[in-house]
Structure 1
Amino acid sequence: MEVLNPVQRRIHQAALRLFAEKGVSQVNISDLAQEAGVARGTIYNNVENIEQLFRQVASQLSKEMHLRVSKSFADLQDPAERLANGIRFFIRRTHEEPQWGAFLNRFAMSDSALREMFYSQATTDLLSGLQGGRYRFRQDQLVVVISLVASATLGSMFLVIEGLKTWREAGSDTAELVLRSLGVDEAEARRLATTELPPLPALD
């Protein structure tokens, strides 16, 4: 993953907030400079154009979250527990970093880098669960199942952003219902969805 210097990180964080609020086409260099608290010249020195900046922000965000979630799974073997935790990590982070959640909610299904963040880990764990008998669905349904997981997670992130549910309520209910839809027993799904969620590991 590309290492950003402090100025680039500041610009990326400002861009994430602006993109989440306005969309890509409505953001300009002046907006970005003001939001980041830097001179326009600093933006020109670090940003090729707004569209390229969006791609960089989306790619960086995707890789960072994917690596952190993957790291959290190092000692977890059960694909159902991994899936339940993964769903809740996204929903909890939306509570902790609302602009991060708003950015994902706005762009996750339309940007390839952000879709990859959802799909890559989920594909591995869903196939593992299917082959191990943990889940019950046809293998030709895999793409639809991944879409179901991603859509359910994003929908609950929206509930948290809007203040309609706490992250714990939304996270546990979503994880439970997704697991039940995949064939996990109701009581087992509820147990996995309500166990204490560990901290999301930081990257070294």
Structure 2
Amino acid sequence: MPHLTPAQRRIHEAALRLFATRGVTDLSISDLALEAGVARGTVYNNVQNVDKLFETVAAHLAAEMHERVKKSFEEVVDPAHRLANGIRFFIRRAHEEPQWGTFIQRFAMSTASLREMFISQATQDLLEGCASGRYSFRQEQLLSVLTLISSAVLGAMFLVREGHRGWLEAGTDTTELLLKALGIPGEEAAQLAIRELPALPELD
């Protein structure tokens, strides 16, 4: 994942806020500079192509979340435990960073890099769980299972963002129901859904 300078990070964060708030994928230099609190020249000096800024921000956000989730799994062997944590990481972050959650909600299904963020680690865990007998779906159903998981997580993020559920309740329910749908026994699914969730690791 490319390293961002402080100025680039500030501009990316401002762009994310504007994309999330407005629900659009294009911004003017003036609006971006105003939101970031920098001069127009600073934007020009730190953004290679303003027309592609949305794709750049989305790709960086996706890579950052993927790497942090992947890093958190270094000592977690069970694919069901990894999946349970992964689901709740997304829902908790939507609570902790509302504009991040809004951005994901608005654009995840229509942006390739964000879709990849959702499914890359989940695909590995699902295939391992299927091969080991932890899950009870057929391998040809993988795409449908991934769609089920991503849709459920986005729905839970919506409940949290709109204030209908707390992140803990939404995360617990979504995790338990998805694990049961994959074939994990009910009591075990419930226990995995309430295990202590560690902090997302920071990247070096």
TM-score (norm 2): 0.97
CA distance in 1, matches of 2:83, 2:25: 35
User: Is the aligned partner of 1:120 residue 2:120?
Assistant: yes
Counterpart of 2:14 in structure 1 is: 14
CA distance in 1, matches of 2:157, 2:6: 29
Q: Is the 8 A contact 2:26 2:51 kept in 1?
A: no
Name the SS for the 1:202 alignment partner: coil
Counterpart of 1:36 in structure 2 is: 36
Q: Is the 8 A contact 1:156 1:171 kept in 2?
A: yes
Structure 1 position 26, deviation (Å): 5.5
**% same residue:** 64
The gaps in structure 2 that reach 5 residues or longer are none
Q: Is the 8 A contact 2:156 2:174 kept in 1?
A: yes
In structure 2, give the amino acid aligned to 1:185: P
Provide the aligned length of Structure 1 versus Structure 2: 204
Counterpart of 1:54 in structure 2 is: 54
Counterpart of 1:134 in structure 2 is: 134
Counterpart of 2:157 in structure 1 is: 157
CA distance in 2, matches of 1:40, 1:155: 38
In structure 1, give the amino acid aligned to 2:110: S
Q: Is the 8 A contact 2:26 2:54 kept in 1?
A: no
Counterpart of 2:76 in structure 1 is: 76
CA distance in 2, matches of 1:120, 1:76: 17
Q: Deviations over 1:7-48 (max 9, x none)?
A: 000000000000011133452111111100001111122224
Counterpart of 1:189 in structure 2 is: 189
Structure 1 position 51, deviation (Å): 3.2
Q: Deviations over 1:54-90 (max 9, x none)?
A: 1110011001000000011111111111000000000
In structure 2, give the amino acid aligned to 1:86: G
Q: Please say which of residues 121-130 and 51-60 is displaced more in the overlay.
A: 51-60
Counterpart of 1:203 in structure 2 is: 203
CA distance in 2, matches of 1:152, 1:195: 19
Q: Is the 8 A contact 1:24 1:51 kept in 2?
A: no
Q: Is the 8 A contact 2:25 2:54 kept in 1?
A: no
Counterpart of 1:104 in structure 2 is: 104
Structure 1 position 101, deviation (Å): 0.6
CA distance in 2, matches of 1:66, 1:78: 18
| RMSD (Å) for aligned C-alpha atoms | 1.0
In structure 1, give the amino acid aligned to 2:61: L
Name the SS for the 1:201 alignment partner: coil
CA distance in 1, matches of 2:48, 2:131: 46
User: Is the aligned partner of 1:91 residue 2:91?
Assistant: yes
Name the SS for the 2:135 alignment partner: coil
CA distance in 2, matches of 1:29, 1:175: 41
Name the SS for the 2:116 alignment partner: helix
Name the SS for the 2:54 alignment partner: helix
